[in-house]
Amino acid sequence: MGKGKIIKDYIARKEILVSVGAFNTLSAKIIDKAGFPSVYVTGYGASANILGKPDIGLLSMTEMVRHVGYITDAVEGAVIADADTGYGNPLNVIRTVQEYEKAGVAAIQLEDQTWPKRCGHMEGKQIIPAEEMVQKIRAAVDARRRDDTLIIARTDAIAVKGFDEAIRRARMYYEAGADVLFVEAPEDEKQLREIPKTIKGAPFMANMIEGGKTPVLSFKELQEMGYAIVIYPLSTLYIITKAVMDLVEEMKQTGTPASIISRMATFSEFNEIVGLKAIGELEKKYKIS
């Protein structure tokens, strides 16, 4: 069994699962060590981390699988991973799901944008016909080799065709076999509140992006609204970006990072996160000098 059971157990007991976004393996380990039950592997963050480019469909499926695999190997919690559009038609989706499963992913997120896609909170999105996405979801469900792997179906229809069309699509995707529904980029709190009420019995995921199109709410508020999962995909990426910006500006202005050393992790704290002590124990065990 994989770690999808962690997610399913949260859904069954109606406790919201909080999945914090990781843009690389180090950020994933920090999230995991903090005690969060799940890590969300963001395609937006992966594109920034690997390429230094925006989330506009530049990464391939194989690049994402390698990226995701490093993260699943490093954490104890359940990994929810962005698989964009499935990287093609239903046959491509089958391979995507199976490769993500082999990489240790607990839940695979697929969306109904055209390819190349773009971040759900950017302008200029386009979506495929709902019937085409239904076939992708059916293929994803059939492709699973583990009973506890979850398929998360995302629709980007609000920005393109409006709220009612987004809910119509979500209903179709649920009927096609999706385990969790993700209506991307609600435009206000009213829409955010309405979404989990629209399809009886369906678990919904909320996406909280600082500075995005949707109001950013707390875990508790979202649980009270009826959401099963919440992701904060970019919080770690944005804070580390600002921290590095501040650091290099300080060094540029003063010639030293001395004034902000107190804001850094210490040498020992960092080594604890990356597991240096455990490596030392292995070196002793195998008599590595």
pLDDT digits (tens, 9 = 90+) for 100-156: 999 999 999 999 999 999 999 999 999 999 999 999 999 999 999 999 999 999 999
CB atoms within 10 A of CB 109: 26
The domains found in the chain, sorted by start residue, are 4-234 (3.20.20.60), 241-285 (no CATH)
pTM equals 0.96
Judge contact between 153 and 124, C-beta under 8 A. no
Q: Long-range CB contacts (< 8 A, 24+ apart) of 162-168?
A: 163/187, 163/191, 163/194, 167/195, 167/198, 167/199, 168/130
| Residue at 261: amino acid letter | I
pLDDT at 277 over 70: yes
Average pLDDT (215-224) is 97
pLDDT band of residue 2 (cuts 50, 70, 90) is confident
